[in-house]
Amino acid sequence: MPRYRLTLEYDGGPFVGWQRQDNGPSVQAAIEAAIQRFSGETVTVVAAGRTDAGVHARGQVIHLDLGRDWDPFRVSEALNHHLKPDPIAVIEAQRVGEDFHARFSARAGGARRRTGLARHVAARRRRDARRRATPDRQA
């Protein structure tokens, strides 16, 4: 089973935190739902750490195992597509060995907490807004 290491950025404002909970939407649940939509697989993602409600993250490392061997670029693009409109972005995806574990293998200090909207998420929103605002100019 291929294992993937993903690096995320997200605005924690609309979430109850990283971990799946019964009292509201979580970052983990949003990512797992996006994985299910693109791959048809039900997986549990593992994070290097957790954030509390409303806390933003830049550089959050997670890993997941998929039954199919996907190109890492396709995994990141598919997840970014299926995560819309949630303010979560996959900024890097790599195929890693089965011995990689997000919690134990990630370098200390890799995740930085932010008080503002993650730049990648903001850039994606601006790009999408421009695309919607610009009429198709093809003849």
107: DSSP letter: P
What gap in Å lies between CA 108 and CA 124, rounded to an integer? 28
**Residues in the chain, total:** 139
Compute CA 83 distance to the chain's CA centroid, rounded to the nearest angstrom: 8
Given the residues 52, 71, 99, 128, select the one marked as catalytic. 52
Residue 58's DSSP bridge partners are: 9, 112
Q: Is the peptide bond before 87 cis (omega within 30 degrees of 0)?
A: no
- Per the annotation, the verdict on 69 as an active-site residue is no
Q: Which amino acid is at 16?
A: V
Residue that has been written with the tokens 């994606």 in this structure: 124
Residues carrying an active site annotation = 52
